Chain A
Amino acid sequence: MSDIVEKTLTALPGLFLQNQSVGGPAGVKTSFSSRLGGLVRGITALTSKHEEEKLIQQELSNLKATVSAPTTTLRMMKECMVRLIYCEMLGYDASFGYIHAIKLAQQGNLLEKRVGYLAVSLFLHENHELLLLLVNTVVKDLQSTNLVEVCMALTIVSQIFPREMIPAVLPLIEDKLQHSKEIIRRKAVLALYKFHLIAPNQVQHIHIKFRKALCDRDVGVMAASLHIYFRMIKENSSGYKDLTGSFVTILKQVVGGKLPVDFNYHSVPAPWIQIQLLRILGLLGKDDQRTSELMYDVLDESLRRAELNHNVTYAILFECVHTVYSIYPKSELLEKAAKCIGKFVLSPKINLKYLGLKALTYVIQQDPTLALQHQMTIIECLDHPDPIIKRETLELLYRITNAQNITVIVQKMLEYLHQSKEEYIIVNLVGKIADILVLNTVDTYAPDNAWFIQTMNAVFSVGGDVMHPDIPNNFMRLLAEGFDDETEDQQLRLYAVQSYLTLLDVENVFYPQKFLQVMSWVLGEYYYLLDKDTPEEVLTKLYKLLMNDSVSSETKAWLIAAVTKLTSQAHSSNIVERLIQEFTISLDTCMRQHAFELKHLRENVELMKSLLPVDKSCEDMVVDASLSFLDGFVAEELSQGAAPYKPHHQRQEEKLSQEKVLNFEPYGLSFSSSGFTGRQSPAGISLGSDISGNSAETGMKETNSLKLEGIKKLWGKEGYLPKKEGKTGDETEALPVPQESIIMENVDQAVTKKDQCQVLTQSKEEKEKQLLASSLFVGLGSESTINLLGKADTVSHKFRRKPKVKETKSGETTSAHSMTCSYFSSSSNATYEDDYYLDALQDRGDKELNKFSLNSELLDSESLTELPSVEKLSNCKLSSSPSLFTDNNMEGFHPSQSTAPSVAPETSLASSLLEETSEHMHSELVEVCHNETISVSSYKIWKDDCLFIVWSVSNKSGLELKSANLEIAPAENFKVRQ
C-alpha cells in the first residue's frame, strides 16, 4: 500500500470537490452527506481545541433539535446519524441520538436501516438497556425474504445482542445454517459463535450442527466454524479428539493448495485458516501422544512448505513452531522448529526478531541450549533502543535465572525498572524481581545478605506503592522464618535493620507506604539484634514518621505497633511518653486506640513482655478460646439458678420447633450465624471489658502474624527448588577456564555468527558482551555442555562431581582453632573424573566419546584395593570449617548450609549415608587419610547418570573447626573450597 498518495489536509476543500466528481461508490453522495463534509471541513479549519468544542456543541444542539422534530424524514435522520457517529468519535456525548438509531434500524428502508444498525453497533454496549428495543427489529429482519436484510440482522447479532434474548432468535438462526446462500450460512455460524461466547449453555444442544458447518462445501463457512471449535477445544480438548483427523485433513488440503485461488493471500494459501487450524491442533495434541502422532506429518509439511518470502509465511511458521512445541514432542520436528526460531532471531527485521525472542521465551524451559546458541543476539537485544525488545529479552532472562546469573539478571531488570514509568510495567517487573529473590531462598540464589537486602530496598522504593501485597508479606515471612542456619538468619535480619536505619537517616526522602510498613515491622521485631541499651535512636525515627502527614494511617498503625514492641524492651523513654500524649488525643480513633493500649501496657511491664516476646513472630500465640478462666464464674451463676447458655442455632431451632413452621432458609446460614452471635455472648463482652488492653494487644499481635499466614509456602527448608538445575557455585569456581571455552564454543556454533565472532572478539565492546554473556548464561552453560554432548551421543552419562563433605561436630564449642593437615591424598578416581570432565569441555566430538568410555571403564574396573596406591599421586589439603555441611539432599548439587549438629559417630554416619544410597551401586567406605584430630574417608556411588564421590570428614577432637579447604591436585584443573 506504499502507493497511496498522501494528501495533506490543507488541500482538503479542493480534493473534496474532486472526490465528488469521481465516479464509483466513493463518488456517490447525496446532498445531505455534504453536511458531514461541511462539518469535517469546519473542524479542520479551526485552530484551537476550544473552538472545536464550541463548534461541535453547536452542531450537537442542532442535531438534537432535528432528530426530535416530527417533520424530520428518515432520510434526513440517516444523515444526522452519520454526523452523530462522527461527533461521538471525536469524543463528544451524543447519547440523545441512541434511541433514534434504533428507530432508524426499525423503520428505515434498506439504506437507512444499514446506517441505523451501524449506529447501534457503535453507540451501544452489550448491557445497554435500549438494546432490548432492537430485538423485535432483528427478529423481523431475520424472517425477511430480502437477503441483505437478513445479512444485516445476522451481522448486528454477531456484534451486539442482549444475552437474555438469545432464545428469541436462536431457532431462526439455526434455520439459517441450512440456507442456500453461503454468506448467510457463514454469518449464522458467526452469530452462533457470538452466542457461544456470551452464553455457552444456550447453544450446547446444537453442537452437532457445528460439525455440519465444519464439513460445509463453502470454505468461508468452514473457516467460520473453526472459530467456534477453537473456543470449545480450548475449554475442553478431550471432547473433540475424534475431530483431529478432520482438522489434519483440512490443513493438508489447505497447505497443498487445494482451496479456490480466491482464498490465497499474496500467493500463500489461506493463511488465516492455516493458522487457526494450527492453533486447534496445538490444543488437541497437548500431552497426548496418540493424537499428536496424527499431526506430525502435516506439521512437517507446513514447516517445509513455508517459503520465507513474505511476512505471512513467517506468521504461519511462528504458529507452526508454537504447535510443534505444545504437542507431544517429536525430536525430528523439534529440531526443525528450533532452526525456524533461529531464522526469526537472526532476522534483521525487528518484528521477526521480536517474535523470535517471544518464541525463545516459551521454549526455553524445554530446550535451554537454544538460548545458548543465540546468546550474542540476546545480549544485543538487551540494549536495544526499542523498549519492547528489551522487555521481551528480560522476560527471557527471567526464565533462565539461576544461582550464578541472578545478580546480573536482576541488575538488568532494575535498570529497566528505573527507566520505566508505566505502572503496568512496574508492577509486572517488580513482581518478577521479587519472584526471583523472595521465592528463591537467599542462601542458594542470592550471593549475600547485603545484595539481597539492597535489591529488595530498590524494589520497594520503586514499586512499593503498586506492587502486589504478597511481595512485602512474603519478604517479612522470609525474614521471620529464616533458613536452616540460625546465625545466618540473624545476620540477614541485622543487616536489614542496619540498612533501614541508614535509609531513614536520609532527609527529605519519601518512601512508599508498603516499604515503610516493612521497615517498621523489621525494626520492631529485630532491633534488639543491634544490642543497644535503649531503642531511643530508632524510636526517634519512628516518631518522626508518625508525625509526618504524608504517611498514611495504615502505615501509622504499623509504626505504632513497632513502637509498642520496642517499648516492651526498654520502657522508660521520653519519646514514647510524648507519643502517647500526642496520640491519646488524636482524632483518628484507630491511632487513639493504639496509643491507649500502649499507655496501659506500659503500666504492666511483665504483661507486656509476655505479650510481646522477642523474636517469636513465627510462633503461635496460645489463646484460650474456650474461655476456661470463666468456668468458676459460670458455675457460680448456674448454682444460683441462671439459665444455661445455649448457642444461637440451638435457640433458633427451639424457636422454630415451637412455632412448627417450615424452615425455608438454607441450614448453612443458621450455622454461620452462630459463630457471629457467639461474639455477642455475655462472655465475649466480659472478656473485652476485663482485660481490654490485653485482648486488644493480642488482636494486634495476631494481625501481625496473620498477615504472614495463608500465603502459599513457596520455599521449603531446602530452598526453592524448581529452578535448581545445573551445577553448584562451587563447581563454577572450580572450572573458570572451561567455562570460557564453553561460551566460545557455543558462539561458534551459532552458524551465521561463526566468522563474525572471531573477528569481533578483539574489539573491546564485544569483549564486554562476551563477559556479560558468560555471566548470564553461566548456569545453562555447564548443564548444556552435557546437552550439547548429547547431540553426539544422546545417552551419554552425565559425570558430575558432587562433593559431600560431612563432618561431625562435638557438642561443645571451644575457642577458634584452625589447623592444616597437608598431604592428604584424595581418591584418584576424582582426578580421573575431573580430567574427563575438562577434556569433555575442551574438545567434543567422536574422539572424546572414546575417551569417555575408556574413562568409565577405568572407573568401573578400578578395584578398591588399588585405591590407596593411586591416591598418593594426588594430594589434598584440608583445613577445617565452621559450619556443618550435611547434605541430605541427593538432588541438589550443592551442600546446603544447615546447622543440625550431627554428633553421630563416624561409622553410623557412614552407614546412614550408605543406607540413603543403597539402591545405587556404591563402593565400601575407605579411610583415605587421618591424623589425630581429623579423618577423611571416601566412597563412591554410581548412579544412572552420574558418579558421586562422598568424602566424610570427621573431627575426632572436641574442637570446633574453623574452615575447610579442600584441594585436589592437579590444582590448576580442579579446586573445591568450602
Chain B
Amino acid sequence: MQFMLLFSRQGKLRLQKWYVSLSDREKKKITREIVQTILARKPKMCSFHEWRDLKIVYKRYASLYFCCAIEDQENELITLEVIHRYVELLDKYFGSVCELDIIFNFEKAYFILDEFLLEGEVQETSKKNVLKAIEQADLLQEEAETPRSVLEEIGLT
C-alpha cells in the first residue's frame, strides 16, 4: 500500500498516512486530485479507480471516505477488507464510531492504524490482538499520570 487517506463528503481531509516518501507539495497535490476524483464518482460505481499508475481502492462509511492507494499487482478486494477491518477496529474502540470521533481523537485513530498496518502491510490480522495492544498502551498512559515508580513496576512485568 502506498498511502491511506480519510476524508469527509465535503472533501475535508481527516487522516493521512503515507507509506512512500514524498514531498509535502506532492502530497498536497495528490490528496487534492484524489479527493476530487473520488467525490465525483457515483455511488453505484466500482470501488476501484485508476489513478496514474496506481489503483485507488475506496469505500464510503456514512460521511467518511476511506481510500487506499495500491500498486497494480496487489489484490484490490483484500484492500477493501483492510479498510473494513480498520473501520471495525475503530468501531470497537470508540464504540459505534462516527466521523466526529475521528476528528476529535484523530491521534487515537492514528495509534490504531499503526498497530494494524505498518509500512503499508498488515501487521496484525487478529482484531483482538490489535485492540489488546492499544488498550495496553492506553492503560499505561493513564498510569503515567500517577507517580513514576508504579509505572516502572508495570513496565517490568
Q: Which residues of A contact B (CB under 8 A)?
A: 1, 3-8, 12, 15-16, 19, 22, 24-26, 28, 33, 36-37, 40, 82, 85-86, 89-91, 93, 109-111, 114-115, 118, 121-122, 125-127, 144-149, 151-152, 155, 158-159, 183, 186-187, 190, 193-194, 197, 219-220, 223-224, 227, 260, 262-263, 265, 270-273, 275, 311-312, 314-315, 318-319, 350-351, 354-355, 385-386, 388-389, 391, 424-425
Contacts and interface: CB of A to CB of B under 8 A. Distances in A.
18 contacts: A1-B91, A24-B95, A85-B106, A90-B13, A111-B141, A122-B17, A145-B156, A152-B137, A155-B118, A158-B119, A190-B123, A275-B75, A350-B46, A351-B46, A351-B48, A351-B77, A354-B76, A388-B48
A542 to B, nearest CB: 38
Nearest to A110: B144
Contacts of B96: 3-5
B144 A111 contact: yes
Contact of B87 (A1, A37, A260, A351): A1
Q: For the side of the interface on B, what is the size category?
A: 35 or more
A312 B52 CA distance: 26
B123 A315 contact: no
Nearest to A226: B121
Nearest to A193: B119
A265 B81 contact: yes
B98 A127 contact: no
B119 A272 contact: no
Given A109-B144, A262-B126, A386-B46, A26 B105 contact: yes
B39 interface: no
Interface of B: 12-17, 21-24, 28, 44-53, 61-63, 75-78, 80-81, 84-85, 87-88, 91, 93-101, 103-108, 110-111, 114, 118-119, 121-129, 133, 135-138, 140-142, 144-145, 148, 151-152, 154-156
Nearest to A182: B129
A187 B130 CA distance: 12
Contact of B80 (A118, A260, A351): A351
B136 A148 contact: yes
Contact of A147 (B28, B128, B155): B155
Given A90-B12, A318-B77, A388-B49, 20 more contacts: A4-B62, A25-B135, A26-B93, A26-B95, A82-B107, A89-B14, A91-B13, A110-B141, A125-B23, A145-B152, A146-B140, A155-B118, A159-B119, A223-B125, A262-B128, A318-B75, A351-B46, A351-B48, A355-B77, A424-B53
A834 B87 CA distance: 64
Given A36-B104, A111-B144, A190-B119, A125 B85 contact: no
A19 B99 CA distance: 12
Contacts of B98: 4-7
Given A115-B107, A158-B118, A265-B81, A151 B22 contact: no
Contacts of B125: 220, 223, 263, 265, 270-273
B21 A16 contact: no
Nearest to B138: A25
Contact of B127 (A115, A187, A193, A262): A262
A12 to B, nearest CB: 7
Contacts of B111: 114, 118
Contacts of B118: 155, 158-159, 187, 190, 194
A194 B94 contact: no
Contacts of A312: 77-78, 81
Closest 6 CB pairs of A and B: A146-B155, A315-B77, A6-B62, A315-B78, A262-B126, A126-B21
Contacts of B127: 262
Given A26-B101, A111-B144, A355-B77, A4 B91 contact: yes
Contacts of A260: 126
B55 to A, nearest CB: 9
Contacts of B144: 109-111
B134 to A, nearest CB: 8
Contacts of B62: 1, 4-6
A89 B144 CA distance: 28
Contacts of A121: 114
Most chain B Cβ neighbours within 10 Å, of A1, A147, A315? A1
Given A145-B156, A147-B155, A388-B49, A271 B78 contact: yes
